[in-house]
């Protein structure tokens, strides 16, 4: 069986969904297919926003919910005219959604658990319509709710998967020779409470199902021709990579290439299932193959970046040789639920700097002030500040390992272009060099580094 996942960009409107139906039909003739659907483009954002408005007591959520209803009813009518049962199903889901939002308005709060419940309606709506449209084309499509086959813990917003029980459920539910059409993104706890796999999580759904069903391939269908050497929105000379390794895909996606969710590679690697990124609008193209080994000889594969980050520096003579300092710093941030994106420590141990999401900067400073109050008082540690509005850029490539001169070329390029580097980190895996620059230098940095490593290759 092959898994075919279609993202929100491939499901933007009735026309795009028709293209998806054609692609599925052609593939289903050749081998058994399992379809995984995201919400229609922009719907998850709309749902989260409607829930936030309702929690704030703002009635505007009713207009947002009505717009979601109208959009889905119109697409259902366009693809399956006169299918009253489908219109009723879509209507029922929208009624439930409106009731939930009304409940949020009444209690004036939306807990992460309720947020997950609301966010999951986008996938239920799109999948209901696509399964009905495939049945109308004569295929034996069956709607499958992701909550029946993917078990997670209760970490709402980005739940952790229980692979053993999920694989078992996938094997039993997807047995047979029909065409399962599965909601991406949503899952459930053992008690049946709805959870989600994090934003962009439908990619992850596809690979969990792929591993559970021992699929031959997992295809992620989107709106670009594959994984590019850099984000094509910022780097006009970026080009499609014919193949990259699982590790490289993981690093690129972790560092901002949102074309694939970083966790997607984990179940696929485990079972050695190849992943392919393909474009719904150009199905004749091969896309990018993600597998364990590649024949590419380039030592740098791609460049990615994460925006809206802040750099915090903890510095002071009292830190030298003092055990437990790093542990206390990072534990205090963990207790404040702040995610650390990058860490760098000079071997003098005089300072540790780390990068966090910009929105958490003030909370991080408060957490550190509390934790290190006595060290600051005794002047062992200087007062800390966060430098904001920064960008992390990462240069990634498995074949950089053991290849001298890559950093030399990188930092020479940055120097020649007058780009100021605020911090640098390289893991000992040597497949990623990351550095921090000012946000305003992002495009210049990405393009200069791209030219330095790929000049003339496009
Ligand atoms: P979908 O709706 O199909 O899940 P996404 O919007 O999540 O699609 O991901 C596709 C987008 O990822 C592309 O439109 C592109 O703008 C962006 N992107 C960022 N970096 C890269 C990259 N290196 N290669 C390809 N696309 C990238
Ligand atoms: N619909 C969800 C989101 O927008 C999941 C996905 O599209 O992959 O994040
Ligand atoms: Mg996506």
Q: Which strands form 342-345's sheet, in the order they lie side by side?
A: 342-345, 351-357, 302-315, 386-396, 432-438, 423-426
Mean pLDDT of the chain: 94
- In this prediction, residue 291 has a pLDDT band, given cuts at 50, 70 and 90, of very high
- pLDDT at res. 458: 42
**Which of 20, 36, 222, 248 to probe ligand 1 with, by most ligand atoms within 8 A of CB?**
222
- Inter-residue contact 182 to 35 (CB < 8 Å): yes
Q: Whose CA is nearest to atom 4 of ligand 2?
A: 44
Domain with CATH 3.30.2130.10 in the chain: 302-454
Which atom of ligand 2 is least distant from the CA of 45?
A: 4
Specify the CATH class of 302-454 in words: alpha beta
221-263 per-position pLDDT tens digit: 999 999 999 999 999 999 999 999 999 999 999 988 889 999 9
Ligand 1 centre to CA of 226 (Å) is 9
- In this prediction, residue 385 has a pLDDT band, given cuts at 50, 70 and 90, of confident
Ligand 2 centre to CA of 344 (Å) is 32
Which atom of ligand 1 is least distant from the CA of 10?
A: 3
Give percent of the chain above pLDDT 70.
98
- pLDDT at res. 80: 97
Ligand 2 centre to CA of 104 (Å) is 22
Which atom of ligand 1 is least distant from the CA of 228?
A: 24
**Residue 328 scores a pLDDT above 50:** yes
Domain with CATH 3.40.1160.10 in the chain: 2-223
∠ CA 403-404-405, nearest 5°, is: 120
**3-state class of 187 per DSSP?**
strand
Specify the CATH class of 2-223 in words: alpha beta
Ligand nearest to the CA of 48: 2
- Inter-residue contact 213 to 3 (CB < 8 Å): yes
Q: Whose CA is nearest to atom 6 of ligand 2?
A: 200
- pLDDT at res. 135: 97
Closest CA to 345 of 331, 330, 365, 334: 330
């Amino acid at each position: 069986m092959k898994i075919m996942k279609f993202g929100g960009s491939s499901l933007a409107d009735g026309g795009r969904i028709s293209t998806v139906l054609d692609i599925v039909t052609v593939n289903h003739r050749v081998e058994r297919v399992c379809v995984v659907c995201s919400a229609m483009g922009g719907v998850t954002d709309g749902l989260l926003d409607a829930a936030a408005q309702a929690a704030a007591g703002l009635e505007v959520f009713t207009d947002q919910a009505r717009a979601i209803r109208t959009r889905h009813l119109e697409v259902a009518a366009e693809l399956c005219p006169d299918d009253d049962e489908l219109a009723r199903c879509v209507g029922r889901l929208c009624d439930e959604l409106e009731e939930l939002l009304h409940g949020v308005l009444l209690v004036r709060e939306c807990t992460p658990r309720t947020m997950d419940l609301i966010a999951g309606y986008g996938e239920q709506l799109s999948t209901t319509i696509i399964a009905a449209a495939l049945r109308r084309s004569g295929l034996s499509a069956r709607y499958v709710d992701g909550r029946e086959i993917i078990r997670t813990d209760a970490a709402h917003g980005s739940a952790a998967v229980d692979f053993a029980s999920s694989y078992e459920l996938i094997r039993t539910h997807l047995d047979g020779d029909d065409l399962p059409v599965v909601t991406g993104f949503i899952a459930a706890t053992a008690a049946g409470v709805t959870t989600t796999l994090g934003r962009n999580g439908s990619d992850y759904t596809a690979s969990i199902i792929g591993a559970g069903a021992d699929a031959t391939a997992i295809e992620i269908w989107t709106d670009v021709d594959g994984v590019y050497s850099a984000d094509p929105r910022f780097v006009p000379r970026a080009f499609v990579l014919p193949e990259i390794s699982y590790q490289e895909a993981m690093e690129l996606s972790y560092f901002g290439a949102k074309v694939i969710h970083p966790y997607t590679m984990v179940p696929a690697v485990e079972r050695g299932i190849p992943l392919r990124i393909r474009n719904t609008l150009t199905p004749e193209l091969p896309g990018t193959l993600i597998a364990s080994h590649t024949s590419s000889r380039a030592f740098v594969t791609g460049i990615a970046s994460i925006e809206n980050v802040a750099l915090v520096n903890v510095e002071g003579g009292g830190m030298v040789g003092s055990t437990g300092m790093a542990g206390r710093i990072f534990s205090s941030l963990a207790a404040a639920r702040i995610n650390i994106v990058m860490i760098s420590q000079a071997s003098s141990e005089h300072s540790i700097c780390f990068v966090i999401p910009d929105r958490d900067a003030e909370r991080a400073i408060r957490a550190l002030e509390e934790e290190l109050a006595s060290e600051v008082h005794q002047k062992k540690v200087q007062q800390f500040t966060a430098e904001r509005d920064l960008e992390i850029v990462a240069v990634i490539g498995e074949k950089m390992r053991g290849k001298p001169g890559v950093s030399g070329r990188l930092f020479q390029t940055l120097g020649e272009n007058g780009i100021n580097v605020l911090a640098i980190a390289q893991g000992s895996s040597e497949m990623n060099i990351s550095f921090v620059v000012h946000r305003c230098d992002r495009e210049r940095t990405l393009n200069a580094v791209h030219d330095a490593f790929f000049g003339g290759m496009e």
